[in-house]
């Protein structure tokens, strides 16, 4: 059985009219029709650029807490002397602009420097 999560959605009257028309064709209930529409949208590879852009925008809006980032940076630098910047950003789950805003502080605090798109730990 598929793992599912329940939620409540509010739709405009015009959207509900379309949903009602699809009951019996695209699902047996309104909830199933809406679920099928959402699943089809999210699983369509043509929508991936939009989804990635929205995810990027969310990262820009939601700045992570400094103590959580600090813990992650410490763990990374304990086990490595050289980390590619893209791997560093991915592990911290931050975007590049946030990194560059904080890099001058973090590089001093965690004793590393940035060279050729690599995080290098000072020895």
| Whole-angstrom distance, CA of residue 70 vs CA of residue 53 | 26
On whether both 55 and 67 belong to a single domain, the answer is: no
On whether both 84 and 101 belong to a single domain, the answer is: yes
Which tens digit of pLDDT belongs to each residue from 34-64?
Answer: 999 999 999 999 999 999 999 888 877 887 8
On whether both 54 and 67 belong to a single domain, the answer is: no
Q: How many domains does the chain have?
A: 2
- Centroid of chain to Cα 16: 30
Q: Report whether pLDDT(2) > 80.
A: no
Read off φ and ψ for residue 119, nearest 5 degrees. -90, 120
On whether both 83 and 108 belong to a single domain, the answer is: yes
Q: Is residue 8 part of a domain?
A: no
* CATH number of residue 117's parent domain: 1.10.10
Q: Is residue 76 part of a domain?
A: yes
Segment (H or E) for 112: strand 112-115
Q: What is the pLDDT of residue 91?
A: 92
Q: Is residue 6 part of a domain?
A: no
Whether the CB-CB separation of 76 and 83 falls below 8 Å is answered with: yes
On whether both 54 and 69 belong to a single domain, the answer is: no
Query: What is the CA angle 79-89-50, rounded to 5?
Result: 150
On whether both 83 and 53 belong to a single domain, the answer is: no
Which tens digit of pLDDT belongs to each residue from 86-104?
Answer: 999 999 988 888 899 999 9
Q: Is residue 4 part of a domain?
A: no
Containing domain of residue 82, as a range?
63-121
On whether both 55 and 86 belong to a single domain, the answer is: no
Q: What is the pLDDT of residue 61?
A: 82
């Amino acid at each position: 059985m598929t793992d599912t999560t329940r939620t409540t959605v509010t739709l405009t009257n015009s959207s509900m009219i379309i949903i009602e028309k699809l009951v019996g064709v695209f699902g047996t209930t309104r909830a199933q029709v809406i679920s099928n529409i959402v699943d089809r949208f999210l699983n369509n590879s043509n929508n991936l650029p939009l989804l990635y852009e929205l995810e990027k925008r969310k990262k820009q809006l939601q700045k992570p807490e400094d103590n959580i980032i600090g813990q992650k940076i410490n763990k990374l630098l304990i086990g490595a002397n050289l980390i590619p910047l893209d791997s560093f950003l991915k592990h911290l789950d931050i975007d590049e602009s946030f990194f560059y805003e904080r890099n001058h502080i973090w590089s001093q605090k965690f004793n590393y420097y940035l060279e050729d798109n690599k995080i290098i730990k000072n020895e």
